[in-house]
Amino acid sequence: MELSLGKQKFLSIENNSTSNCRTKLWHKFNGKCIKLSNIQTKMMLHALDIIDNGANIAWEHLDVEAKREYQYHLGFGMNLTLSLYRGSRYYDIRLWCLPPSYTHPIPTRVGITLNSEQVKVLREARNTIIETIPELEEIEPCECWLEIGLFTTTCQRCNPWDILNQ
């Protein structure tokens, strides 16, 4: 399955794959892509549902002047970050890492940023994505990721670097 999100960005799902990483978000022009595991795909869909159903609650937490962002953990070092730029809403799905000399994780170059229109297309395709990857129905989203702030939990899925226990 391949779905155009607009502006040369796509979501593709490998139909006949035994791999756990079947979902790929990619940019046709520059070739950047990010692969999501089934757990991360489910967490992304769950986060988009919460953002959608919570009206603008998540967006109200943003502080443009302080350059604050709102993050949802997708698991295993992957985050969905909400940010505002010049009045427009952006959704950044990115892998984070913890370099040896750092105390907090930082974003890597591995990721993709979607605008509101692209996320709308992604939300509308939610049922198709779940039909294409039936295993997603069995995955329970981790509830500790709902906590505001980055890595405020000891859950290994949300805090793979075990920052709180160092």
Distance of CA 71 to the CA centre of its chain: 9
Residue 158: what pLDDT? 62
Domain boundaries, the chain: 2-138
Give, for all 166 residues of the chain, the pLDDT tens digit: 889 999 899 998 886 666 676 788 888 888 888 889 888 898 888 888 877 665 455 556 555 555 556 777 788 888 888 887 787 888 899 998 888 898 888 899 999 999 989 999 998 999 999 898 888 888 877 666 444 444 445 566 666 665 544 4
Class of domain 2-138: mainly beta
DSSP annotation of 35 = E
DSSP annotation of 18 = -
- Count of C-beta atoms within a 10 Å radius of residue 50: 15
Residues 6+ apart with CB under 8 A from 89: 59, 82, 83, 115, 116
Using alpha carbons, select from 44, 53, 111, 106 the residue that is nearest to residue 74.
44
Question: CB burial class (10 A; 0-12, 13-18, 19+) of residue 100?
Answer: exposed
- Tell me the two tokens of residue 132: 């294409």
Q: Which residues of 119-141 are buried (b: 16+ CB within 10 A; e: fewer)?
A: beebeebeeebeebbeebeebeb
